[in-house]
Amino acid sequence: DAIRAMGGSAVANGDDISSWEGAQRLINTAVESFGDLHVLINNAGILRDRMLVNMTEDEWDAVIKVHLKGTFAPARHAAAYWRDQAKVKGGPVDARIITTTSVSGIYGNIGQTNYGAAKAGIASFTVIAARELGRYGVTVNSISPSAFTRMTEDLRNYTEEDKETRSPKWIAPVATWLV
């Protein structure tokens, strides 16, 4: 509604992006609604923080599924779409994938073995996907925001200045710049 109120076009898709079929429907929804696909921003995530000795298999699996498969599945379907477009066009398309990693995946954070492993996997996924998809004209980058969000508010005592400077409103422009 906010996008439409500002004169833009938007469509919602409530599919589970960590499901193969849901990710395919997501990409199909974009193409059917807008006639093409130019950018995929992979930003889904959840936390199930727990010290390693207390972490359950379900907590591990849930985080890995949402972050890793939820990055892979939409990217795979988008990449197949762009590969087909490049073949039809006879040359590269102009497309982008932007993934979201985290300082927890780069430097580690106590109580986040599942989250850190997933985010490190996304960083590696991004490097490899960029190498694979460049031939089709797809640029793949990642952002690693350190943001104050509902997911991070309990990780430490944030000051009001932290909350402002780490606001998600500063992350969206970085993703937009990469597009």
Question: Annotated catalytic, 158?
Answer: no
Q: What is the pTM of this model?
A: 0.83
Nearest to 19 by CA among 53, 70, 61, 60: 70
The average pLDDT across 102-111 equals: 85
Catalytic residue among 69, 115, 136, 142: 115
The average pLDDT across 1-6 equals: 90
Q: Assign 103 a pLDDT band (cuts: 50, 70, 90).
A: confident
Question: Annotated catalytic, 65?
Answer: no
The pLDDT, as a whole number, for residue 108 is: 83
Runs of H (alpha helix) within the chain: 2-5, 20-34, 57-64, 70-89, 103-106, 113-133, 160-165, 171-178
Question: Annotated catalytic, 102?
Answer: yes
Catalytic residue among 102, 104, 136, 142: 102
The average pLDDT across 52-66 equals: 98
Q: Assign 146 a pLDDT band (cuts: 50, 70, 90).
A: low
